Amino acid sequence: ENLRRSLRTALERGELYLEYQPLIRPPSSTIGFEALLRWRHPDVGIIPPSVFIPIAEADGLMDEIGRWVLEQACRQALKWPSSLTVAVNLSPAQFLSGTLTDTVAQIIDAVGIRADRLELEITETVLLERTIDNIDTLNTLNVLGIRISLDDFGTYYSSLSYLKNFPFDTLKIDQYFIADLETDLKSQTIVRSIINLAHGLGISVTAEGVETSAQARWLIKENCDCLQGNLLGRPLGAEATGDFIRRSP
Ligand code: G
Ligand code: G
Ligand code: MN
Ligand code: NA
């Protein structure tokens, strides 16, 4: 309940900030970063988004916070080479708000960033309801040139009809399947099948939570397009992204 009250003022007090985790095309090209929201609470310390985003959603704060995240991430991407993208996670409330496409169009225009440098990540849970509206929303974003990723793929409900009906550019395989890739033949079969399925549909694949070089080698052998995880790079503060880019080929 205290968190709830202080979240209302966190944005104006500058307590929210973004970290950026590198997205790597094998073997080692940086192709972009995923923006990850953090809250530095003056008393409690760093609070992860899994804790405060549900509160923000329940209190109707996520629209404003989400708009701030989008603008912040786009402004940061302008400081990078123009070939690099920035991926932003969308909460269900943002996606279903009915104002998302206007908000996004307005922000990329105000910031002056090319639409195809912005990637929006949504999870399957968002797509469960109001399917026709959701297709409209995604198609509108797509027409603007914005890229759409299906995040945490493989968990939750994973209906193949999503792949048939929604215009995804990228599928992000949940770290749950990557974690035991070295020892679990079922995870290997599932990941290999997801990669082949996506490629057959012209969708690129990102593996999340890559932590070991054995996992990376296996994913590269199976033609995974992009790797993300602590092996490739932990989430970085905004200033550190510049150094990371200069050090990467
Ligand atoms: O970085 P971390 O593993 O703590 O992120 C936990 C979860 O929070 C992930 O599911 C991630 O998608 C989500 N998340 C991170 N940043 C944002 C954000 O800016 N907006 C939304 N809606 N979710 C975010
Ligand atoms: O749900 P989403 O994929 O948006 O969130 C990604 C989350 O995974 C972030 O919270 C990020 O901090 C976390 N993460 C990134 N790389 C790794 C990793 O290599 N291992 C683990 N366990 N978590 C990771
Ligand atoms: Mn994500
Ligand atoms: Na994910």
| pLDDT at site 37 | 98
Token reading at 108 = 């990329």
Is 204 part of a structural domain of the chain? no
Give the DSSP H/E element, type plus range, for residue 199.
helix 185-200
Give the DSSP H/E element, type plus range, for residue 190.
helix 185-200
Is 63 part of a structural domain of the chain? yes
Q: What is the mean pLDDT of residues 101-106?
A: 96
Is 191 part of a structural domain of the chain? no
* Residue 128: pLDDT over 80: no
Is 202 part of a structural domain of the chain? no
Is 203 part of a structural domain of the chain? no
- What dihedral angle (degrees, nearest 10) is formed by the CA atoms of 199, 163, 34, 63? 170
Q: What is the mean pLDDT of the chain?
A: 93
Find the CATH number of the domain harbouring 58.
3.20.20.450
d(CA 37, CA 16): 7
> Is-contact 236 19, C-beta < 8 A?
yes
> Is-contact 139 167, C-beta < 8 A?
yes
* Residue 242: pLDDT over 80: yes
* Residue 125: pLDDT over 90: no
CB of 89 within 6 A of ligand 2: the answer is yes
Is 65 part of a structural domain of the chain? yes
Q: What is the mean pLDDT of residues 151-174?
A: 87
Is 22 part of a structural domain of the chain? yes
CB of 226 within 6 A of ligand 1: the answer is no
Is 201 part of a structural domain of the chain? no
> Is-contact 162 127, C-beta < 8 A?
yes
The band of 1, judged by pLDDT with boundaries at 50, 70 and 90, is low
Token reading at 8 = 């209302």
CB of 204 within 6 A of ligand 1: the answer is no
Look up residue 237 and give its amino acid.
G
Task: Choose among 71, 68, 131, 67: nearest CA to 96.
Answer: 131
> Is-contact 173 154, C-beta < 8 A?
yes
* Residue 156: pLDDT over 80: no
**Rounded to the nearest whole angstrom, what is the distance from the C-alpha of residue 87 to the centroid of ligand 4?**
11
Reported ipTM: the value is 0.95
Q: How many domains does the chain have?
A: 1
Enclosing domain of residue 169 = 2-173+234-247
> Is-contact 33 84, C-beta < 8 A?
yes
**Rounded to the nearest whole angstrom, what is the distance from the C-alpha of residue 150 to the centroid of ligand 3?**
9
CB of 122 within 6 A of ligand 1: the answer is no
* Residue 158: pLDDT over 80: no
